[in-house]
Structure 1
Amino acid sequence: MNIPFTFSKAPSLCPCGEHKRFNKLTSHPTGGKCWTCNKFFSPKKDVPLPPSPEDNATIQEKIERREENYTKKFVRQHIYWNEAGDNYLMKIVIYRNSFGKKLCFQYKWTGTLEWSDEEQAFRKLGIWERGIEGVHLTLYNAPLINIFRTSLCRDEFTVYIVEGEKDADTIWHKWGVPATCNPMGAGKWKSSYSDLLKGLNCVILPDNDDAGKAHAQLVYDSLKGKANKVVIYNLTDLMPDLPHKGDVTDFIERGGTL
């Protein structure tokens, strides 16, 4: 017998008579689960009901969802600006829950930024809202790339293209050169992103897996005829022991250089 997992909110006394953390199933008022005994009871009182493997999986999913909502730990965030560099577009916030699972949340900016000469910083006039519906998607570090693209000597600039925002930040902080990526990760490149890189020299650094290589080829094909030059560097050619799914951050942390 497979009982659906739709629990009532108020706990009651367990059929064992000892515990008060028994949650009834709304579809079977006398059946449910005791969260202290960790036992299931059928609609017949006092009859233990062993959960099926599917039920166990459902319980784990519920626990993980609860952990995601209440015990996530902030790791980092990445903000996307508009190409003019005068307002936010969206941000990606990374957390990890107590299981070590990576959680990504997307937010859109609903206001404006106002420059303060006194504070030498932007004042935020707006709020972040969950979700990115209606947001104009562009490349990470778009304002910097836009400056290069509109420069008279743009064919002298090189931009590194990676798979994620973390890698773009790593390249900027460690090597001091501009790097970018598209939002949403591998396989989500748009032709409009290539337009922003028109006339520049582009170096693509794929992650060390099939998805990374396929993404690199997608970007390469899109940039042909638009970028001044475009090349793919496979990091394993320079570091054969780079682990599977390793990225440019792993490469740099292991002492790699181009």
Structure 2
Amino acid sequence: DISVRQGVTMKEILVLLCLVSGSLGRHLYGWNVEDKCDAGKEQNRIAGQKARLEDLQNSLAGFKEDLQSRITKGKAYEEDLNKLRRRLSKLEPSGCDDATQLQCGGKKPLCLSRLLVCDGSVDCDSGLDEKDCDALTPSGSVWIGTFVYDKCTQRRPEKIRLSIENYKVIDYLRSFPEVTASLEFDPGMVDRDDTILSLTGHMDLMPGDHVLRFAPPESDGLAFICTFDGEHDDYCLGKIVREDETDVCAEFVLQRS
């Protein structure tokens, strides 16, 4: 059949033309069609590897971010658990005279003299006696107090300013540093009382329960105490009390400015 023979002949001619053009390109111009094809395949392979590498790097970055987030959450949960443990321990009897002794806790509970707290030598197996010795009210620090209620003071201030003049650790009594301060009433207010009281007292370095105590500065016998909760170093809960500390007649929140 002439048409079939012509069709076959055309296909053969096309194949021959491709072969001839490739051969001429190699000999006359240095072309190498196979090399170009191989080079294209190599580029595609490299591009694919780069894409996979980028995917792996992104996955690794995501894994690191997720891991860091989990670690942060774990530390937060651990801190919350420790806070809860401290609160529960305060509610339970320590088995010691808390006014003069510290319960070391741990596997070997021990009632340690409060005079040995923060003396620079670890006496509790748990190390509790030397863990909480930072100066929370250092010299030069200023604290602003806002009253919750006041049933007894002469001036009935809304706010007070406590300026720590000196925080001094005594070598022979390191668990009760001496503190001197000045107290102003309603600072910044037009009709405020200009009286500035001088306060003398000490910081009781009870681990987890630091208490700032000032003796009565006036003849009314009202003393000033402020208790830190062991978790926040920038504020304490204050009370105005009679000298025996049994009659609380005013409360305030004192925060470092």
Shorter-chain-normalised TM-score: which range? under 0.3
> If the length of structure 2 is used for normalisation, what is the TM-score?
0.20
Structure of greater relative contact order (alpha carbons < 8 Å, 6+ residues apart): 2
Which has a greater percent of helix?
2
| Greater gyration radius | 2
> If the length of structure 1 is used for normalisation, what is the TM-score?
0.20
